[in-house]
Structure 1
């Protein structure tokens, strides 16, 4: 499994790169000013960072228990990304509605658009991250 330091590097890299891409795109896509979208992006990043660490730790433990390995197939990566985004949406939806003073439906629509962006981004980021920082092979028993 990954070390705590590796998980922190993964999470921080994911959030920083995601913020740099998402905030300007969201400003254009949703018609709010950069301050509002920047604030939403930072709050979302904090929520996502905490969720990312907890979720990936739980997911890896579940994979280890169920499959005996934390290596992910493409299908497992798709499931992993969808489940992550669904959980994040549940946490973040009320914050969007409250901060932007919009209905839960409008927040849901915005949240779904954010989820699609981050779903694709998470898949690509994790694929690249695993190539650059592969999971170490378990030590062989003698």
Structure 2
């Protein structure tokens, strides 16, 4: 199991590398200023992090109240993921549309592209992270 320090390193590296790729990449893809996409990237990452904490706490409390356990089956994990992403999309689309001065439809397309980027990035980042910082190496260190 990973240590607290390793989890902090993972989270910080995940966001730093993502933003280093996302900001210039999205500016080029969407033909928007780097500064604007930097604001969108940092705001989105901050909102996603806060939403993750709040949503997971509420989801687990609801799950315990409804089922008596927080154990998640595959079906519950799929529902969990879909509800999390739906909530995030609902929060981010108006912010993106307002900040960039674009329509809701354009903001939805942009947000879906961001979601796809983070799905692929998250998968690849975690593969790389596990190779660079194997669990056995971090678990052997004192807490």
TM-score interval for Structure 1 and Structure 2 normalised by the shorter chain: 0.5 to 0.7
Report how far residue 128 of structure 1 moved. 3.0
Q: Where do 1:88-127 residues align within 5 Å?
A: 88-127=88-127
Aligned to 2:50: 50
Aligned to 2:135: 134
Distance 1:13 1:122 in 2: 11
C-alpha change, 1:91 and 1:134, in structure 2 (3 Å) is farther
Aligned to 2:23: 23
C-alpha change, 1:126 and 1:50, in structure 2 (3 Å) is farther
- Contact kept, 8 Å, 1:81 with 1:123, in 2: the verdict is no
1:37 counterpart = 2:37: yes
Q: Which has the higher contact order (CA 8 A, sep 6+)?
A: 2
- Contact kept, 8 Å, 2:2 with 2:135, in 1: the verdict is no
Distance 2:38 2:84 in 1: 22
5+ residue gaps, structure 1, are 68-76, 138-142
Q: How many residues align structurally? A: 131
Distance 2:6 2:42 in 1: 22
TM-score, length basis structure 1:
0.67
Aligned to 1:71: none
Report how far residue 12 of structure 1 moved. 1.4
Report how far residue 24 of structure 1 moved. 0.5
5+ residue gaps, structure 2, are 64-68
- Contact kept, 8 Å, 1:19 with 1:42, in 2: the verdict is yes
Compute the RMSD of aligned alpha carbons: 3.9
1:66 counterpart = 2:71: yes
Please say which structure displays the higher CA radius of gyration: 2
